[in-house]
């Protein structure tokens, strides 16, 4: 089967650092950019489109464009938290299709650990933010906000802590093979549910790691892809959405993936059961569980059953996920997990994942990012990717 596509991911790079005490933020952005361009077989001179979020210092992407010496005909600094990079890939694909650029560079970097961050308060959106007075004084933190989604999901659907724990167990099975992963010990369901409660009902092992680092992607036109060999990955579909509190009519049991997923699948003319592999943003175990339901891998409310008994473990279950160990075990650069989700999906489609977790004959894959808080306002973005010959 040869599917047509409007653009390819030609290069990816994940920074190996997990604590960047000796590097500046712009240096990290530059190192991942250089790494991804080298991976693609391109140079900084080839880049005519640049995409970044607010992890770049200064006004939009201007500082980074100057630091890298870029000559740009296209710039996009869309900020949707950890889902930004999957939004950027879609925007880059469309900009390329319209002839506005040919080689799009997307970067993410951050050093929260070097800056001494040990836990995550909710983002302070500033004095002008209209919701601020109605939220900050009550002590929202990233953990308790996701915990409230988990608590409600448990109430409505009978989801259990043991079911959520299976998500961490699967991630740990994969992380044991990743030399860069922060947590490489294989854990059991008992280990997860017996770890300390951080914010009921989430335990310490339901939470992702905090790490420094970053990553970059290079998206190119089909004409350029043709000149670069056979490691390019097809962008078959992309969808994005924003979900918020809707004037107080809230439902915390689902995410924006209910819109971004169908939009991406429809553009790719594919369905969830076609996917050989999925990278799913895993800030917390509940993030994965709700997203799997919302993307249509199982019915709403059945996510607990779906993720149990190793169903997400490569070589064991039906939906191998986050084979690098994900945010739960590997890394979570700048508290934003979308970039590494795309990178591991690309590794799988190139056959370049660790042999112990490589999905045999991996032809079609999904990557999903979530940004912000699923219990407040968040961005969702879904990518459907295909192997070069898919």
> Interface with other proteins by CB under 8 A: which residues?
127-128, 130-141, 143-145, 147-149, 151-152, 155, 196-202, 245-250, 252, 375
Burial of 185 (0-12, 13-18, 19+ CB in 10 A): exposed
Question: Smallest distance, Å, CB 287 to other proteins?
Answer: 15
Q: Which residue, 1 or 134, has its beta carbon nearer to other proteins?
A: 134
Question: Smallest distance, Å, CB 125 to other proteins?
Answer: 10
Conformation bin of residue 309: beta by default, left when phi > 0, alpha when psi is -120 to 50 = left
Sheet holding 364-372, edge to edge: 74-76, 49-52, 103-110, 213-220, 8-14, 233-243, 378-386, 364-372, 277-280
Dist CA 104 CA 85 (whole Å): 12
Question: Smallest distance, Å, CB 156 to other proteins?
Answer: 9
Q: Which residue, 375 or 382, has its beta carbon nearer to other proteins?
A: 375
Q: Which residue, 2 or 137, has its beta carbon nearer to other proteins?
A: 137
Conformation bin of residue 378: beta by default, left when phi > 0, alpha when psi is -120 to 50 = beta
**Residues, the chain:** 390
Q: Which residue, 247 or 355, has its beta carbon nearer to other proteins?
A: 247
Q: Which residue, 255 or 311, has its beta carbon nearer to other proteins?
A: 255
Question: How many alpha carbons fall within 13 Å on the CB side of residue 385?
Answer: 32
3-state secondary structure of 385: strand
The torsion defined by the Cα of 144, 146, 151 and 155, in degrees rounded to 10, comes to 150
Q: Which residue, 201 or 237, has its beta carbon nearer to other proteins?
A: 201
Where are any strands of DSSP class E within the chain?
8-14, 49-52, 74-76, 103-110, 197-199, 202-203, 213-220, 233-243, 277-280, 364-372, 378-386
CB neighbours of residue 347 within 10 Å: 23
Q: Which residue, 249 or 355, has its beta carbon nearer to other proteins?
A: 249
Strands 197-199 and 202-203: antiparallel
Q: Which residue, 246 or 273, has its beta carbon nearer to other proteins?
A: 246
Q: Which residue, 45 or 204, has its beta carbon nearer to other proteins?
A: 204
Where are any strands of DSSP class E within 176-232?
197-199, 202-203, 213-220
């Amino acid at each position: 089967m040869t599917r047509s596509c409007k653009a390819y991911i030609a290069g990816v790079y994940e920074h190996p650092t997990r604590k960047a005490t000796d590097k500046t933020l712009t240096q990290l952005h530059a190192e991942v950019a250089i790494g991804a361009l080298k991976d693609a077989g391109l140079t900084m001179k080839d880049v005519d489109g640049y995409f970044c979020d607010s992890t770049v210092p200064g006004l939009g992407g201007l500082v980074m464009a100057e630091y890298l010496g870029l000559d740009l005909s296209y710039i996009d600094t869309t900020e949707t938290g950890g889902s930004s990079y999957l939004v950027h890939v879609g925007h880059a694909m469309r900009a390329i299709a319209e002839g506005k650029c040919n080689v799009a560079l997307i970067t993410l970097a951050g050093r929260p650990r070097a800056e001494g961050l040990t836990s995550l308060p909710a983002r302070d959106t500033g004095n002008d933010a209209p919701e601020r007075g109605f939220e900050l004084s009550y002590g929202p933190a990233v953990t308790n906000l996701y915990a409230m989604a988990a608590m409600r999901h448990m109430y409505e659907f009978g989801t259990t802590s043991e079911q959520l724990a299976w998500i961490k167990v699967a991630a740990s099975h994969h992380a044991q093979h990743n030399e860069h992963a922060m947590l490489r010990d294989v854990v059991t369901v008992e280990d997860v549910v017996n770890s300390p409660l951080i914010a009921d009902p989430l335990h310490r092992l339901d939470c992702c790691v905090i790490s420094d680092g970053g990553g970059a992607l290079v998206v190119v036109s089909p004409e350029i892809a043709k000149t670069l060999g056979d490691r390019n990955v097809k962008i078959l579909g992309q969808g994005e959405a924003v979900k918020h509190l809707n004037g107080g009519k809230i439902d915390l049991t689902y995410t924006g993936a209910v819109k971004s997923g169908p939009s991406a699948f429809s553009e790719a003319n594919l369905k969830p059961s076609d996917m050989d592999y999925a990278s799913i943003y895993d800030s917390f175990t509940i993030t994965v569980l709700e997203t799997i339901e919302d993307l249509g891998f199982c019915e709403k409310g059945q996510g607990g059953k779906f993720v149990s008994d190793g169903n997400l473990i490569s070589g064991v279950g039906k939906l191998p996920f986050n084979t690098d160990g994900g945010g739960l075990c590997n890394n979570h650069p700048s508290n934003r997990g979308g970039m590494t989700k795309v990178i591991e999906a690309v590794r799988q489609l190139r056959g370049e994942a660790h042999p112990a977790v490589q999905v045999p004959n991996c032809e079609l894959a999904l990557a999903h990012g979530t940004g912000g808080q699923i219990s407040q306002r968040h961005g969702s973005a879904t990518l459907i990717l295909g192997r070069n010959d898919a």
